[in-house]
Amino acid sequence: MKTEAATTSQSTIHGKPTNGIGAKISATKGPVTAAKASFTLASAVAALWAKDIAGIVVAAARAGMNVDLVIADLLSRRR
């Protein structure tokens, strides 16, 4: 069984272009290593977080806010 969610945008991870935020899940009869699953989840979370940050920073800049302070605040909340 294989399930794929449609991609919605173009993103980059570590400077390399990737398809938009989407899910790619495959269920197999064989074992799936925890490290691979963990890395995939971390990559998806990082991509979502980066996209959200970019949107927030653009909105802050348009509103005339100090973008450096906005970024510092967002990074402090990420922990």
Residue whose tokens read 């399930």: 3
Q: Which residue has the higher pLDDT, 21 or 45?
A: 45
Can you give the pTM of this predicted structure?
0.35
Which residues share a beta bridge with 78? Answer: none
Query: Residue 2: pLDDT above 50?
Result: no
Q: What is the pLDDT of residues 32-55, one digit of tens each?
A: 555 555 566 666 677 777 777 788
Residue 72's alpha-carbon distances to 30, 43, 58, in angstroms, are: 44, 22, 15
Residue 79's alpha-carbon distances to 45, 49, 61, 76, in angstroms, are: 14, 12, 24, 6
Q: Which residue has the higher pLDDT, 56 or 33?
A: 56
